[in-house]
Structures are given as C-alpha cells and as structure tokens.
A = this chain, B = another copy of it.
Amino acid sequence: MKISKLVGKRVKEAPNGAVLRSHILLLRAGYIKQVGAGIFSLLPPAQRVSLKLQNIIRDEMNKIGGQEVLFPVVMPRELWDMSGRYSSIKEEMIRFKDRNNHDMLLGMTHEEAAVHMLLNTATSPEDLPCMIYQIQTKFRDEARPRGGLIRVREFIMKDAYSFHNTQEDLDSYYKKVYDAYIRIYKRFGLKNFVVVEGDNGIMGGKVSHEYMEVTDVGEDYLVICPECGYSSNMEVAVCQKDENDQTVAGEMKEVFTGNAHTIEEVCEFLKTDAKHTAKSVCFKTANTNKLIMCFVRGDHDVNQSKVAKLVKEPIDYVDTDLYNLPAGNIGMFNLNVPEDTFIFYDKSLEKLENFVTGANKADYHIVNASMSRDVKNAEFVDISLVMKGEKCCKCGHELTLTRGIEIGNIFQLGTKYTKSMGLKINTPDGKTKEPIMGCYGIGVGRNLASIIEEKADDKGIVWPMTVAPWQVYLCPIRIDDENVNAISNELYKKLEKAGVEVLFDDRNTSAGTKLTDSELMGIPIRVVISPKTLANGQAEVTIRETGEKMFVPLADLVSEVKMMIQEQIEEIEKDL
C-alpha cells in the first residue's frame, strides 16, 4: 500500500473530547472516524487490524471444534419472547416496528438465535456437544459510550454458543474455551491480562469468567490475590472479614452528636474507631420502587452489584427524606419504614458489640449497641465491597485492587434458554432433556483498543507483529533523489513479492513527518532508505517496540526483514 493513496490522514492534535490513549491515537493516526455517539467507521488500517484479530479468533474457535455460522442482526420479537428477554432487557436493546408493524429488535447477543438454529436439528444425544459461533455486528444502546472503541454502541463481536448433554461435558468444554481465550489474547500480543470470576449480568447462569486487560483506565474494578491467584470482578469479589470479638458492655443509649454526620465526623466526636460503628446506605429498587436499607461496618462500603442481585433488579440511590429518615443519623433502631422495605445486614456486622449507629433522629446517634443483644433475627449477607489490604478468601494473603477492561467473557448458562425455548433431546430412556449451554464472547474493537492501551508509548501506537495492519513501513527519505526513488520502489516490489505487508511512504515530504507518522501508526518494522544509507549500500531498520536500530546491507534486506517478522511472531506465540 502506498501511503499517498491511503484513505485517512495523520494529525498532530489530540481531538477534542478524546481522553483515553487508544482513542486519541486511533483518531490521530487515521484509524477511526466517529459517525455518532459510540458509533465509528473503521478506516483501512483499523479494518486490517480488525480482520487479523478476527482471523486469530476464528482459528482458535475452529481448533476447539467451533462451527462458524451467521445469525441475523435484526430479529423478530417472537424469538425473544420465548426466552422472556424481550421484556426483561430494557433500553439497551433497540426495538422498532417494520413496515408491516411487526415488532423487531437488534440482537445484542444471540442465545435465542443459537437455540433456534438447533431446534429440530439437534434431537439426539449424539448430536451433542456442538459449538457454533459467529463474528458479526451488534448494537447495544449503551447509556454512556466513551473512550473511542473501548465502550461503543455498535461493535463487531465473536459470540459462541455450546450445547451439552451433561454438566460434566459443559465443564470440560468450558475449560477448553477458557484456554482458547488465553491463546487468543496471547496471539493478540497482550500480556497484562487476567481472568477473574465474573458477574453474570443479563446472561443468567452461574459460573462465569471475565478476561480483563489490567490498566489504570479500565472501567471495571478487580480484586487480585498476588499469592494464590484468586481474582474476581469487584462486583462479586469476596474476602475473609476480620472478626468482631468484643464483648457486650454498657447500656444502649442515645447521645447528642450534632453536626457529626459522616462516619469520620461521628468517630471524631465520640472518640471511637470506624470499626466500632455501623453505617447505613439506602437505595430503592429501580423498577418496583421499594426502599432498601443496607447496614455495613463503618470502615466498609456497600457493593451495589451484590445488593442488586439480592433484590433481583437494578437499584438506584434514594432520597431518604421521602421516608422521613434523617440523612447522617440513620440506623437500625426505631425504624419506621414501609413493610416491604429490604433490610440487609452485612457480614461485617456479625458479632459486633459496643457499636455506634444512627438514632433515626436528627443530631443523635446510639452508642453501646450490640448486634447479638439488640438486633433480633438479623440475617447476615455479603453486601460489602472488598477493599485493598483485606484478606484473600482462599489463602488469607492481602488482596490488591486494580482496574481492567473486559476483553472477553465466558459463561455457563445452564438450561435457561433451552428450557424456555423448548429445545429437547430425546434420551435413550424415551424421555426428553434440555441441553446445557455455555456462551462465550469477545469484542473485536475493544481488543484492538486494549492492545493500544497496553503497548503504546509517547510516540504512538505499537502493534504486535501478529496483528499489525502492515508489517513494514518502508520509508524513503529524500524520495526526490533518483537513486532513493528507484531503490525504494524496487524494494517495495521485492518485499511485497516476498509476501511482506508493506506500507510504502511514497510522499515527497520531510523526514520528520515520515518518521513521526511511522511511529504514530505503530508499524512494527521501519526500513529507512536515504542518500546516506545508500552511500553504504544499506538500509536503516528500526524495531518500533524497542527502538532498536540496525543497518542492513540492501542485498540482505528482504531476507533479514522476513526473518525479523518471523522472530517477532514466534516470540509472541512462543508459549502457546
């Protein structure tokens, strides 16, 4: 490809509104163009990377017996009524009527279509297991698209669905996909990723894992044990709580605390420690509008995802004034709240004695409260956020917290979809049984951006050789020089003939512009030809990732470059 004809321009200025490194670089280097909120066109270099990512995914899916199919983007409502998701999924899903006034939707995920494909075709136990997958456009109407390709509304996704006769078979296949995913990310050149226990969200099912690219700019919070490898999405992370071992002492009583409302203020006012307090956080259920009161030890915070799971619907913050609850003085005693209020006590409160909590009366708190003595029938559930320094639930080592971008996920779905959609296998004993499903997703664009997040430096993108849009940036300096021109054109032809993917900077422009563009675009190997290098019969070869420079005799250039490409690929794929 000659850069003079490449569609898209490199620009110096970071565009307005772009904050994430990958977003800025994709725009600056001419890879993407925004068409709407969370909607992008991919320019030729990005599409080249995207196709390479897709082919790696395809290859690994095929290796574990996956069969590629194609499901529709647009589906009729009926299919999603069968699973119940037409109504259970909210604004994230686009719905519209077709010209015949028929309810249609844009598929955000394709469990329904996958089960539909097997209806009447998978009928006997011998037809299973099977795994079908597609690589296709999806649209999810995200409330807050952001970060370029990190959180978009439209994206290319590989989604796979497996069907099994038994849970054991799913378990064993799930492990194969688990491993295939690791191979995929390694082949993408990613190194900073971890696998964490996941939250199942709208998918249903129980076991799930998320593949997380660890980065400061990730939207997800992760809990990781550096000792035993326990790792989990913060949303579902658990830990060992330090035990409360005080004994009952003193009589519970109200004390005036005035303007002391936060835990810090109350502790200072009463000269006590946050570990000896119980704080309350109130929410409401988003759909059914019920009050939720959560009590946790003062040195902990409430994990909203865990609460949402307990009430089985999304939750929102609530205005406590509506319930005559005095913000800053709310506690678990003398409560006058609606009968259908959810009241949750976090496990951190178990056996807590001599603690301070709100008196449900402006300017007052209660002291010397005792969970065992004063709170009757409390059931303790896990609703707290795991915090840095807490103890690993598996090995007791101190946990670390980090952030990550979800670059893939795998789920065990159980029979939620096969049951609701009536996919039945005839068992040898004359009965029928629903297959057990797994589903497995990878967003292509988000991975493309994550690779940039991990690898880029202050000069620009750094593509791993396995996914680079071009392998070599052929960069003649002073192309107006007859010799430079002739030799670089000849090299261009020779390299392409040798199967090397070359971006040829055929512009008659300054060395600075060319070198800067080659770095910005992230092409792994740069070959510079100039009057100076030619004087020695050489080309200057630079490795983008390391900055390593070497001079190669022109006669050896094609074979040297091919060897470097091969070495870089082998380095990436070495422990697969």
Closest Cβ–Cβ distance, residue A105 to chain B (whole Å): 10
In the complex, A143 Cα to B50 Cα: how many Å?
35
Which 6 pairs across A and B sit closest by C-beta, in order of nearness?
A96-B96, A36-B76, A42-B70, A91-B99, A44-B67, A39-B72
| Residue A85 lies at the interface, judged by CB distance under 8 Å to chain B | no
**Copies of this chain assembled into the complex:** 2
In the complex, A8 Cα to B127 Cα: how many Å?
10
Could you say which residues of chain B place their CB within 8 Å of the CB of A141? 98-99
Cβ-defined contact, A9 with B121, below 8 A: yes
| Residue A203 lies at the interface, judged by CB distance under 8 Å to chain B | no
Cβ-defined contact, B5 with A154, below 8 A: no
Could you say which residues of chain B place their CB within 8 Å of the CB of A67? 1, 5-7, 44
Cβ-defined contact, B121 with A7, below 8 A: yes
Known contacts A5-B130, A126-B4; is A43 also within 8 Å of B117 by CB?
yes
Partner of A113, one of B41, B71, B75: B41
Among the 9-residue stretches A131-139, A470-478, A515-523, the one with 4 or more Cβ atoms under 8 Å from chain B is A131-139
Closest Cβ–Cβ distance, residue A298 to chain B (whole Å): 38
Partner of A41, one of B1, B33, B72: B72
A→B interface (CB under 8 Å): 1, 4-9, 30, 33, 35-37, 39-44, 46-48, 50-51, 65, 67-76, 79, 91-92, 94-96, 98-100, 102, 104, 106, 113, 116-118, 120-122, 126-127, 130, 132, 134, 136-137, 139, 141, 143, 153-154, 156
In the complex, A123 Cα to B236 Cα: how many Å?
52
Cβ-defined contact, A73 with B7, below 8 A: no
Cβ-defined contact, B69 with A7, below 8 A: yes
In the complex, A126 Cα to B5 Cα: how many Å?
8
Cβ-defined contact, B65 with A5, below 8 A: yes
Could you say which residues of chain B place their CB within 8 Å of the CB of A122? 7
Could you say which residues of chain B place their CB within 8 Å of the CB of A51? 68
Which chain B residue has the least Cβ–Cβ distance from A106? B74
Closest Cβ–Cβ distance, residue A393 to chain B (whole Å): 38
In the complex, A35 Cα to B73 Cα: how many Å?
11
A-B residue pairs in contact (CB < 8 Å), sample of 15: A5-B130, A7-B69, A7-B121, A9-B120, A9-B121, A33-B116, A36-B72, A36-B104, A37-B102, A41-B113, A42-B70, A46-B70, A74-B139, A98-B141, A136-B137
Cβ-defined contact, B71 with A41, below 8 A: yes
Which chain B residue has the least Cβ–Cβ distance from A119? B33
In the complex, A42 Cα to B139 Cα: how many Å?
20
Which chain B residue has the least Cβ–Cβ distance from A35? B72
Could you say which residues of chain B place their CB within 8 Å of the CB of A46? 70
Could you say which residues of chain B place their CB within 8 Å of the CB of A118? 7
